[in-house]
Amino acid sequence: NAVAPFAAIIGIYESGLVTENVTVDWWVLALGGFGMSVGLATYGYKIIRCLGARMAAMSSSRGYCIELSSALTIVLASYYGQPASTTHAQVGGTVGVGLLELANNYAELKWRDVINWKLL
């Protein structure tokens, strides 16, 4: 998420002008890929555990519902010209599935498990 602003800053620094399109050097993309890899290797397992086990137990049907709601959110936001984050759409879909699970009488999930920002 930080590669585009970083590329814009590099473009402004190199040209001295603010333009609509900026060519992105390969090293900027490589730096972004390296940063994402390090972040996933050091902290990604906590996020995967939080979203896939603690917030809502995953099954194939729940995963399908999360993916469908996320895709629908991104498509509608793009259609209306709004900025959208696929990560936030995925987390929103997971929270939605967790909230729907609370409607079941046999659900072991509690409200504090779904609506809890301290899970990480």
d(CA 74, CA 69): 9
Look up residue 23 and give its two tokens: 């060519």
**Which value, to the nearest 10 degrees, does the dihedral of the CA atoms of residues 99, 100, 106, 110 take?**
0
* Residue whose token pair is 């090293």: 27
pLDDT in tens, 19-67: 888 888 899 999 999 998 998 888 877 777 776 666 677 788 888 998 9
pTM for this prediction: 0.60
d(CA 43, CA 59): 23
